[in-house]
């Protein structure tokens, strides 16, 4: 069995477990003991959603479900423990449907969100074809004027998602600095706000990227699955896990439950053993 086959096997088993937990109503049995970050991409289209489009109705259902279990907070607040579990909502890439499909849902439920944007897509001149590694066309992305309006929105905070959305570990030191620090500086100059939160494209990072992000930002997120368990070490604050809202609803609810969190840790340990056996 190859590593790829092992990954498919694990994913299938995980989804079956989540479906069983949903049918048996196990997801709400125990109060979560950690904080959670939800990750979304496009709402209304398939961009960033491998299983198909996430609709505004689905987003509303997710948030309404978790509203009974968590207190919605701004992203940095998940680094601290409170009287009740905390949940932050994030959106990656900066698709235009954030304004048309996601924001009305956030407003109706009074839920704050961090929107991670790609700096070069907001320049006066559009990037050259292929410069930004996204499937969406420029018309599907937020433009500079859209972000100007969002900067002033009480529920939205803009975050840095690099200059061109590259594979950070593959870059030389100078290019890495421009993608992280250069993009941060460009966003701050353009919009007159502090950009202190970061999102790794594709969740990929290495020690150089983590160190640079830690030097320039207060908090950063990846795509690894799991809960945030305060107190958080400074180094861990720049590699926070998230639950992917693009997954089927039972999976999102399972991964956002206490039992799901315990199972995630067990699965992660089994994954390491499984991959070691097939190296």
Which is more confidently placed, 9 or 148? Answer: 148
- 14 is a domain residue: no
pLDDT tens profile 176-186: 999 999 999 99
Mean pLDDT of the chain: 89
pLDDT category at 129 given cuts 50, 70, 90 is very low
Domain that holds residue 227: 31-256
pLDDT band for 124, please (50, 70, 90 cuts).
low
Residue 154: inside a domain: yes
pTM above 0.85, yes or no: yes
Name the helix (H) or strand (E) containing 239: none
Tell me which H or E stretch contains 112: none
57 domain residue, yes or no? yes
CATH number at residue 36: 3.20.20.370
Structure tokens at 223: 């795509």
The reply to whether 25 falls in a domain is no
Q: How many helices and strands, by DSSP H and E, does the chain display?
A: 10, 8
Q: How many independent structural domains does the chain possess?
A: 1
Q: Is residue 17 part of a domain?
A: no
> Residue 9, SS3?
helix
In a domain, 18, yes or no: no
Q: What is the DSSP letter of 148?
A: H
- Return the closest-CA partner of residue 112 out of 94, 130, 132, 86: 86
Report pLDDT digits (tens) over 59-99. 999 999 999 999 999 999 999 998 999 999 999 999 999 99
pLDDT at 265: 79
Query: Burial of 28 by CB count in 10 Å (0-12 exposed, 13-18 middle, 19+ buried)?
Result: middle
Both ends of the chain: CA-CA distance in Å? 10
Average pLDDT over residues 145-174: 97
Residue 11 counted as domain residue:
no
Give tens-digit pLDDT for 205-243. Answer: 999 999 999 999 999 999 999 999 999 988 899 999 999
DSSP state of 101: I
Nearest to 69 by CA among 33, 104, 103, 105: 33
pLDDT the model gives residue 127:
57
Whether 3 is covered by a domain: the verdict is no
At 276 the pLDDT is 45
**Collapsing DSSP states into helix, strand and coil, what is residue 72?**
strand
Does residue 123 surpass a pLDDT of 70? yes
- Nearest Cα to Cα of residue 248 among 16, 5, 10: 16
């Amino acid at each position: 069995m190859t590593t790829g086959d092992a990954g498919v096997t694990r994913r299938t088993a995980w989804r079956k477990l989540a479906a069983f937990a949903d049918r048996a109503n196990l997801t709400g049995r125990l109060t979560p003991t950690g904080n959670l970050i939800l990750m979304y991409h496009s709402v209304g289209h398939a961009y960033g959603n491998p299983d198909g489009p996430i609709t505004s109705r689905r987003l509303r259902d997710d948030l309404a479900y978790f509203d009974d279990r968590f207190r919605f907070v701004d992203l940095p607040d998940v680094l601290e423990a409170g009287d009740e579990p905390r949940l932050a909502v994030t959106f990656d890439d900066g698709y235009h449907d954030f304004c048309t499909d996601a924001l009305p849902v956030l407003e109706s439920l009074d839920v704050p969100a961090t929107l991670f944007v790609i700096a070069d897509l907001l320049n006066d001149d559009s990037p050259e074809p292929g410069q930004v590694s996204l499937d969406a066309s420029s018309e599907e992305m937020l433009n500079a004027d859209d972000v100007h309006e969002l900067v002033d929105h009480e529920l939205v905070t803009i975050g840095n998602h690099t200059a061109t959305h590259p594979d950070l570990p593959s870059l030389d030191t100078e290019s890495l600095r421009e993608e992280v620090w250069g993009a941060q500086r460009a966003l701050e100059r353009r919009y007159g706000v502090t950009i202190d939160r970061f999102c790794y494209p594709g969740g990929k990072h290495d020690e150089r990227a983590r160190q640079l992000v830690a030097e320039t930002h207060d908090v950063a997120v990846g795509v690894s699955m799991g809960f945030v368990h305060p107190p958080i070490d400074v180094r861990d604050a720049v590699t926070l896990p998230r639950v992917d809202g693009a997954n089927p609803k039972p999976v999102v609810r399972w991964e956002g439950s206490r039992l799901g969190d315990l199972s995630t840790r067990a699965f992660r340990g089994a994954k390491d053993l499984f991959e070691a056996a097939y190296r």
